[in-house]
Structure 1
Amino acid sequence: MKQPVPKESVLKVLLCLLMTCSIFAQDKSLEKTFSKDEMSQLIDEQFRFAAQQYKLLDKNVAADRMPVTFNQKENKVTTSDTKWWCSGFFPGTLLYIYEYTQDAEIKAEAEKRLAILEKEKHYTGNHDLGFMMYCSFGNAYRLFGKPEDKATINTAAASLATRYRPSIKAIQSWDGSKNFKCPVIIDNMMNLELLSWATDNGADPKFKEIAITHANTTIKNHFRPDYSSYHVLDYDLETGKVLRKVTWQGAADSSAWARGQAWGLYGYTMMYRFTKDKNYLKQAKNIAKFILNNPNLPADKIPYWDFNAPNIPNAFRDASAASIMASALLELGQYANKKEKKEYVDTAQKMIQSLASDKYRAKLGENGGFLLMHSVGALPFNSEVDVPLTYADYYFLEALLRYKKWYL
């Protein structure tokens, strides 16, 4: 005679089934291609959420500091001074939120943060002036047209130009140290926007010349035959020769660090915008091909922190890399043929849908006020692993604005 199944066991089975169905339903929802109306609603909801979250984040950050990440164990936002390379992302994100919502409180907070950042226009300690000053003051000038903001951008471009090294035909990223003689990192492609924009808007022509020369040197030396990128190249300043091709934040010297691939994709797409040089467009498309056809790109299109991470599929995801890629792909779609455009935009849309889902986006009032969860800063140093990061939020909102502007 069969023994009766205990009620507790039945309840457990039902609970497991419900959880499985819930997970399956969530996964299936991400498989769906949203209509234009649904994307419009998604974008609107993300910005309304962002306005509320960033008011919370602002309250969690002292008036003379900038947010970096959220420490879950200590339940507090980690902050930096304005010399930290990420210092421009917080005011830049506030400006993106204001652009969409026209929220006066958000605008006022952005202006307060710009005021404490402005002095860094003279900073020459590394190559990150573009992140610091263009993502912030570049957006401010675009929205408000204040001459003093343009002057700040031009001064920052002049500061960045001091790091150009003619012997290597590139901008030195970090100062020499026991680790590197003259390091140049793929991230540096992003800072060329500051130089190019400044020249195109009346500043010294040499700024854009430096940007172009750096982009050409990077194509020549930084990429492998499959169009994946090394993270760091160490140069000999006397001879101009490449001494080593290594990583600092990736899984291995030979691996494809995800955010590094995103910087390259975005950087060459942006350089095509400024120059219309078809070599840059070709480079961007080839980098996109490497990313989109990579067998280790997950179904939800949020990459692992490194495309060659040793513990895939159990490796950490990097929402920041996905945000940058989504924004870049949407711009690349503007310069592509019909077939390519569909692939780029569809993939970017998938990334946006995934990032906006409960799996990656925080709940209101949580995450210290940041929007996205699950980004990776520098895993080899156990730094900023599986946490929110300011640039993940910044490029996520940029991607949303670009989608609305170009594809709705």
Structure 2
Amino acid sequence: MRAQLDSYFGGLTGTGATRSTDRYQQALERCLDRLREVMPIVGLRNPKIGRPDLTWNYCGPFDWVVSFQSGQLWLALQLTGDPVFLNAARARRPVFRQILQNRHARDHDLGFQFSLSCVADWLMTSSSEARELGLRAAEALLARFRHEGQYLQAWNPRPSQGGSRAEFVAGRVIADTMQNLALLHWAHRETGHADFRDVAMAHAATVARHLIREDDTTYHTFVFDAVSGAPLRGETHQGFADESCWSRGHAWMIHGFAQSALTTGDKDTLDIARRLAARAEVLMGADSVPVWDYGITEGTPAFRDSSAGAIMAAGVYIIASLTSGDEAARWIAFGDRLLDGLLATCDLTTNPAAHGLLNHGAAHVKAGFADTMLPYGDYYFMEALMRSLGHTQFFW
């Protein structure tokens, strides 16, 4: 294990730094225990958001959150080899078939939904059906590319909401989509079809130009003219204000650019991930768990977002794996700081009443969803713990 860690973290031991990772291994084992404990309660349902009593509200059939329980189960199978996790993960496959059968259900979140379900199944078990479902999802995501603006359209219009919804979504790209590009890169590796890779890289370039400000803070969304593709303006949807910096969107972009750099080997993409992570480190100040938006003003509730911390920690460890020496040590220290903050203030794995892993997540503060458990926070908490320990096989 020591040699594996040295290799993964770019030879950190050569800098004279030392780490104690026992607490991360113990936390990861508690995550596995919790997944086992709640399996008879959760059944085939998929958690959406926590309740005040630390139980779950569950997803409808087409929710973007529907895959994060699956992702945790596939990680658990990888760590343990226990078929109970395989059976629970694979039993969710009908949910993903239904998404592909409903055109209104298919949007930019196909990457989240299928990377952590069918792609994971293919990588873990070589299931040909899972591979086929994953490739169909990648083709549907590819079809969302808008050549005029060189971006993947985020959301869909909804017939029940009329023209106002259609106007809102038209020409809109969001930070979250950077994390969904992994599905396209996987499809390129599987098929050799250049369109998958080219669209993923074109979208990332557009995000880099328009969603990242000169000071390396980020917009949550950006709007293009839906006909000409001309760039119009940055806005927020879940953040505090259009010109603020929503911490989970910023974290999506850190992880997304870092994962893209890991996949492609592109140095410019890695540099973007570094810049975004460095800016987040400054914006956090002395905090160890991010506030929900780095630009909130006095008098605004300063809810923490454990999901942003978990996503960012996982992304920072990827950056560490792509660097070496003192720089790798710097990113590992930042990742450890984020994990330590989660363990100190948000960890629910020692609370037997909790069905999830982390508390104090901020789903959508302005809509009233804050200070709660979130399944994506839980998934990335497991991923970050695994990356902190030197694991390198994931489903992105």
Q: Deviations over 1:295-354 (max 9, x none)?
A: x4443x211011112248961111100111111111111112422211111111121222
2:112 maps to 1:131: yes
230-239 or 199-208: bigger deviation: 199-208
Shift in alpha-carbon separation, 1:155–1:228, aligned structure 2, 3 A? same
Structure 2 counterpart of 1:370: 356
Q: Give the drift of 1:117.
A: 2.7
Q: Secondary structure at the match of 1:357?
A: helix
Q: Please list, as runs of the form range in 1=range in 2, the aligned pairs for 1:213-224 lying within 5 A after superposition.
A: 213-224=202-213
In structure 1, give the amino acid aligned to 2:149.
I
Higher relative contact order (CA 8 A, sep 6+): 2
274-283 or 393-402: bigger deviation: 274-283
Q: Please list, as runs of the form range in 1=range in 2, the aligned pairs for 1:75-154 lying within 5 A after superposition.
A: 76-122=55-101, 124=103, 125-154=106-135
Q: Give the drift of 1:392.
A: 0.5
In structure 1, give the amino acid aligned to 2:273.
A
Q: Deviations over 1:358-381 (max 9, x none)?
A: 5433434222x1000011011111
Structure 2 counterpart of 1:186: 175
Preserved CA contact (<8 Å) 1:122 1:159: no
389-398 or 358-367: bigger deviation: 358-367
Preserved CA contact (<8 Å) 2:64 2:112: yes
In structure 1, distance between residues paired with 2:279 and 2:300: 19
2:362 maps to 1:349: no
In structure 1, give the amino acid aligned to 2:374.
L
2:46 maps to 1:61: no
In structure 1, distance between residues paired with 2:168 and 2:124: 41
Shift in alpha-carbon separation, 1:395–1:123, aligned structure 2, 3 A? farther
Preserved CA contact (<8 Å) 2:359 2:371: yes
Structure 1 counterpart of 2:379: 394
Preserved CA contact (<8 Å) 2:154 2:169: no
In structure 1, distance between residues paired with 2:25 and 2:80: 9
Structure 1 counterpart of 2:150: 169
Structure 1 counterpart of 2:33: 52
In structure 2, give the amino acid aligned to 1:380.
K
Structure 1 counterpart of 2:161: none
Preserved CA contact (<8 Å) 2:292 2:304: yes
Aligned CA RMSD, in angstroms, stands at 2.2
In structure 1, distance between residues paired with 2:229 and 2:214: 22
In structure 2, distance between residues paired with 1:193 and 1:135: 11
Structure 2 counterpart of 1:361: 348
- How many residues matched? 366
Preserved CA contact (<8 Å) 1:319 1:360: no
Larger radius of gyration: 1
Q: Give the drift of 1:123.
A: 5.3
In structure 2, distance between residues paired with 1:180 and 1:154: 25
Preserved CA contact (<8 Å) 2:25 2:389: no
Unaligned ranges ≥5, structure 2: 1-16, 158-164
In structure 2, distance between residues paired with 1:258 and 1:77: 24
In structure 2, distance between residues paired with 1:108 and 1:127: 28
Q: Deviations over 1:229-288 (max 9, x none)?
A: 101111112111123311000011000100011011111111112222222111111111
Unaligned ranges ≥5, structure 1: 1-33
Q: Give the drift of 1:76.
A: 4.3
In structure 1, distance between residues paired with 2:286 and 2:375: 23
Q: Secondary structure at the match of 1:184?
A: strand
Calculate percent identity across the aligned residue pairs.
Answer: 26
Preserved CA contact (<8 Å) 2:55 2:356: no
Structure 1 counterpart of 2:250: 261
Q: Secondary structure at the match of 1:78?
A: strand
Preserved CA contact (<8 Å) 2:27 2:349: no
Q: Give the drift of 1:115.
A: 4.2
Q: Give the drift of 1:35.
A: 5.8
Q: Give the drift of 1:51.
A: 2.5
In structure 2, distance between residues paired with 1:312 and 1:396: 30
Q: Deviations over 1:157-200 (max 9, x none)?
A: 00111111111110000125243432110111111100011101
Q: Secondary structure at the match of 2:371?
A: strand
In structure 2, give the amino acid aligned to 1:66.
N
Q: Give the drift of 1:46.
A: 2.1
Preserved CA contact (<8 Å) 2:254 2:276: yes
Q: Secondary structure at the match of 2:191?
A: coil
Preserved CA contact (<8 Å) 1:232 1:247: yes
Structure 1-normalised TM-score?
0.84
